Amino acid sequence: MNRLTCLVVDDDPDKASQIQEVVCREFGDDFVEIVCVGSAYEAGQRMRKSMFDLLFIDLNLPMRKDGEAVGDGGIKLLKQVMRATGKLIRPSFVVGITAFEDLASRDVKDFREQGWALIQYEADSAAWESTIANHCRQIAEIQKRYASSEVDHVDVCICTALAEPELRACKDIFSVKLKSVEKCGRNFDLYELIVGERKVSVCLASASEMGIASIASLTTQLICNFRPSVCLLLGICAGIRSEIGDLVIAESSVNYQTGKWEQADESLEAVFKQEPRYHTASPRILEALRCFNSERKDRILAIPSAFRGVDPPKAPATNIGPVACGAAVIESEQIVGDLQFQNRKLEGLEMESYGFYVACRNAYPGLEYAMIKAVCDTGRPPKRDEFQSYASFLSAEYAIAFLRDLVERDSNLLL
C-alpha cells in the first residue's frame, strides 16, 4: 500500500492525538504520515502546498492560530475545499468531527451531499474511534484495489458527449492511433501527441448519450482505468454572454435544475423552488489556461484558418466563467433570459459539465480537469446546426494547442 498522508485540523490537542493514534493503529506507523494543525488558516496553508489523502476537521474551529474557536470555522474551510477557492488542493477523503450535537445537525446535509462522513465525538465513549477505524479500513481497501488493478496509464483523457461531430474533430487532429483498449465492455482509443522529444499519451472517448449522468459514468471509467494527469471535456455549447464562434472555459458548472417541488397551497398546483448547485474546474489548470490565453493569443487566433467548411462567424474570443448545465436541449428565449437573470455572468449553456466535474472532483488528488467548449448557437430560436462542426473543430484544436503549450513550458500538470 502506498504511504497515506493525513491532515488533522483540530484545536484540541488531546482529541487530535486520539485521532492520530487510531489512524496509525489502522494503517501502521510506517504507512501513514500525519500533520496536525489547530486553525482553518494553518490548514489552508498546508492544503495549498500538499495533497492529502485524508482530512479530519473539527467543526468548532479557530479561523486563525491562537484565536477563539467559532462554530462555523470548520464548515467555512470545507466550503473553500468544495469550491476549490484559494488554490486549495482537495483531499480524497474528508471526515468531520465535532463534540457539539447542534453543529452536527446543522452541517450533516453539506457532508452527505459531498459523500463525506460526519462523526459525533464523545470523550467518554469509544464509539467514535470505531467509526474512524471503519473509515480507515475502507480507504485502505480502495487503495489496494487501485494498486492491484490493471491500469493503462495515460497523460490525458479527452471526453465528449457526441461521437459526431465532437469526438470526430478530436480524432482528426491525431495522425496515428496507437491502439484500442477494451475496458468496461467498450473500446477506448489511445493516441500520441508528440511535442519535440516529449510524447504525450491521450485517450479519446465519447459518451453513449448526452447529459450529466452519461458523461459522469464515462469520466469515472476513464479515471479509474487510465489514471490520467489531465482530464478535458470538449465539444459544443450554446452561448449566453459568449457569442457563436467563441470558446468557453467553465470556471464553474451550475446545475440550474436542482431544487424541490412543493405544493404551494391547498390547491394542486406545484411550485419549483430552485437550489442550484455547482462544481468548479481545478484551480491549477484554470491558471494555466489563463496564462495560455494571455500569452498565446496568436496561436488561438490562427486556429480558424485551418478549418475546411463553413466560414467561421468571427475571430474566437476565449471566455472563462460560469456555465449553466441542465438535462435538456434549450431553444427558448424565456429560459435563456431566466438563466441570465439568475446569473448575469453565465458564459454558456450545455448538458455535461456538471457531471464531468463531479466525477473529477471525486477522483484522486492532483487530477487536473476543465471543460473547454465552443459556441455553436445561442440557445434561442431559431436553433440551427450549421456551426456544430466548426465549434467542435475549434474546441479540439484549442485543447491540443493548450496541451502542446504545457509541454513546451515543461509544466508539471502532465507529470
Residues 314 and 339 in one domain: yes
* Domain extent at residue 53: 4-148
What is the spatial distance between Cα 118 and Cα 139, in angstroms, rounded to a whole number? Answer: 16
Residues 392 and 280 in one domain: yes
Per-residue model confidence (pLDDT) at position 146 = 54
Which residues of the chain, if any, have pLDDT below 70?
Answer: 1-2, 82-87, 113-115, 142-151, 175, 264, 266-268, 415
What the block records as the C-alpha cell of 190 is 489511445
Residues 126 and 248 in one domain: no
Residue 132, Cβ density class (10 Å: 0-12 exposed, 13-18 middle, ≥19 buried): buried
Domain boundary among the residues 122, 148, 174 is at: 148
What is the spatial distance between Cα 400 and Cα 303, in angstroms, rounded to a whole number? Answer: 11
Per-residue model confidence (pLDDT) at position 31 = 81
CATH number at residue 184: 3.40.50.1580
Please check whether residue 60 is in contact with residue 74, taking contact to mean a CB–CB distance below 8 angstroms.
yes
Per-residue model confidence (pLDDT) at position 415 = 65
DSSP string, 30-78: GGEEEEEESSHHHHHHHHHH---SEEEEESSEESSTT--EETTHHHHHH
Per-residue model confidence (pLDDT) at position 85 = 57
CATH number at residue 102: 3.40.50.2300
Per-residue model confidence (pLDDT) at position 389 = 96
Mean pLDDT (the chain) is 87
What is the spatial distance between Cα 277 and Cα 18, in angstroms, rounded to a whole number? Answer: 35
Per-residue model confidence (pLDDT) at position 187 = 86
Residues 303 and 396 in one domain: yes
What is the spatial distance between Cα 252 and Cα 284, in angstroms, rounded to a whole number? Answer: 14
Residues 385 and 404 in one domain: yes
Helix pair 388-408, 283-295: axis angle to 10 deg: 100
Residues 73 and 208 in one domain: no
- Strand locations in 307-357, DSSP E? 318-325, 348-350
Dihedral sign from CA coordinates of 44, 48, 49, 54: positive
Bridge partners of residue 368, in order along the sequence: 230
pLDDT digit string (tens) for 117-163?
888 888 777 788 888 888 788 777 766 655 555 557 899 999 999 99
Residues 251 and 109 in one domain: no
What is the spatial distance between Cα 28 and Cα 341, in angstroms, rounded to a whole number? Answer: 54
What is the spatial distance between Cα 372 and Cα 269, in angstroms, rounded to a whole number? Answer: 40
Per-residue model confidence (pLDDT) at position 62 = 92
Per-residue model confidence (pLDDT) at position 234 = 98
Bridge partners of residue 284, in order along the sequence: none
Per-residue model confidence (pLDDT) at position 147 = 55
- Please enumerate in sequence order all residues whose Cβ is within 8 A of that of 132, keeping only pairs 6 or more positions apart, or say none: 19, 22, 23, 56, 95, 119
How many structural domains compose the chain? 2
Per-residue model confidence (pLDDT) at position 213 = 92
First to last CA, the chain: 21
Per-residue model confidence (pLDDT) at position 211 = 92
Domain boundary among the residues 124, 148, 172 is at: 148
SS3 10: coil
Cβ neighbour number for residue 262 with a 10 Å cutoff: 10
Residues 195 and 226 in one domain: yes
Q: Alpha helix (H) ranges present in 227-305?
A: 283-295, 297-302
Domain boundary among the residues 107, 124, 148 is at: 148
Residues 274 and 135 in one domain: no
